[in-house]
Chains A and B, each alone.
Chain A
């Protein structure tokens, strides 16, 4: 099951040139890019591991691509995303975030029904990948 989080996730995977073009757009807006990775694709997992600090004062996508490639080498077959942070007063938040790398095989999610008091049912998601300990997931 294909993970659809962040921008462009319903499109086919980006090529490196397309990723570079998106990063260039973000840099042209004055946003600072960062690279993050994870093995836990749960939609409520907001805190992915940071690959280095966000990169401020960049003028060209090459710097982000350099870190992205380093991250790909160190974490092959994991989810990797690129974030673009807008530090303008009033925004001070992510303006763009998209997944650039994903595992070859994404097992998807289990819908867990939890029956509570008075036969009320609470629904939650559980990633099949998370059944394995970290490091053996993909």
Chain B
């Protein structure tokens, strides 16, 4: 009883959480996250919650209250191109700033790096990867490939078991982040219930809206030192609207690919139109660079056929082949 009173005498009566937050400069990290990543509201909310939790945990420790290290293993699910890998790369730095991991060290692996080729090869291989990642974050991309139900002798199961063991026992040494497409990860977790229950944070990455995609395009162009002229701004907005409803649409990744193609066309155009290039011509994308996309031709053709169908001169098969393939 006396000892308890003494312990209480040594701990401060109150702790200024704001000063704790300033100490870790979490605010700056979160602000950068907001500025550099468009949309992703649920993801940012969860990261903010984790940040708050870690600060409170630190305060609790200073007060002498019980503080067991929280489990921060995460699973990122979402459609292609929704920023899972991008956020995971940031996570190591965020958790390091928050003082949860000792090193801002991120090891990115896929199935190949964990699973061996013959009996007895998998365990040492997986352990080596785990040891390299200790003190930081282990990011397993396309994690559902680890488990192949169609082959019962697959060594992936062995890798999963070692992973589970280390995730449980070395919780303060390692944060594991799994990422993958939602439906496949659901199958993965339903066949590995132990894995699902050891992961505290299941974060779902939503698809981007058209406005968010446009903001992402602007951000990417800004990073690459390109500007859009007024015509190109309209063209890009139209392009995004058309591209979103296409099959195999991969969110931000599709946008990046579209911009890369627009840059190719711009280079070609400059080459033929401007024997002497100015800074302005080199950095400006015009409407033609974007409107040359196959998508616009396709929508024109579709409109044309619809008109002809309305007039009764064509049927749906009247479409040219090229715009049927994705």
Contacts and interface: CB of A to CB of B under 8 A. Distances in A.
Interface of A: 52, 55, 57-64, 66-67
A58 B174 contact: no
A62 B132 contact: no
A58 B133 CA distance: 7
Among B103, B131, B134, B135, max chain A CB count under 10 A is at B131
Interface of B: 102-103, 105, 124, 128, 130-132, 134-136, 170, 173-174
21 contacts: A55-B132, A57-B132, A58-B131, A58-B132, A58-B134, A59-B103, A59-B105, A59-B132, A60-B102, A60-B105, A60-B135, A62-B102, A62-B134, A62-B170, A62-B173, A62-B174, A63-B131, A63-B132, A63-B134, A66-B134, A66-B170
A59 B128 contact: no
Contacts of A52: 124
A60 B134 contact: yes
A64 B170 CA distance: 13
Nearest to A66: B131
A60 B172 CA distance: 12
A55 B131 contact: yes
Contacts of B173: 60, 62, 66
Contacts of A64: 131
Given A62-B131, A67-B131, 11 more contacts: A55-B128, A58-B132, A59-B134, A60-B173, A61-B135, A62-B102, A62-B170, A62-B174, A64-B131, A66-B131, A66-B170
A66 B131 CA distance: 8
Chain A at the B interface: SS class: mixed
A44 B135 CA distance: 36
Nearest to B102: A60
Lowest 10 CB-CB distances: which A-B pairs, in order? Answer: A60-B135, A63-B131, A62-B134, A62-B173, A59-B105, A63-B134, A59-B103, A62-B135, A57-B132, A60-B103
A113 B103 CA distance: 54
Contacts of B105: 59-60
A62 B170 CA distance: 9
A58 B102 CA distance: 13
A31 to B, nearest CB: 15
Nearest to B124: A52
Among B128, B130, B170, B174, max chain A CB count under 10 A is at B128
Nearest to B104: A59
Nearest to A57: B132
A40 to B, nearest CB: 26
Contacts of A67: 131
Contacts of B132: 55, 57-59, 63
Nearest to A61: B135
A82 B134 CA distance: 18
A60 B135 CA distance: 5
A66 B133 CA distance: 12
Contacts of A58: 131-132, 134
Contacts of B131: 55, 58, 62-64, 66-67
A62 B175 CA distance: 13
A66 B134 CA distance: 9
B86 to A, nearest CB: 22
Among A55, A58, A64, max chain B CB count under 10 A is at A58
A64 B103 CA distance: 15
Nearest to A59: B105
A61 B103 CA distance: 10
A9 B319 CA distance: 84
A32 to B, nearest CB: 11
Contacts of B170: 62, 66
A60 B128 contact: no
A59 B174 CA distance: 12
Nearest to A52: B124
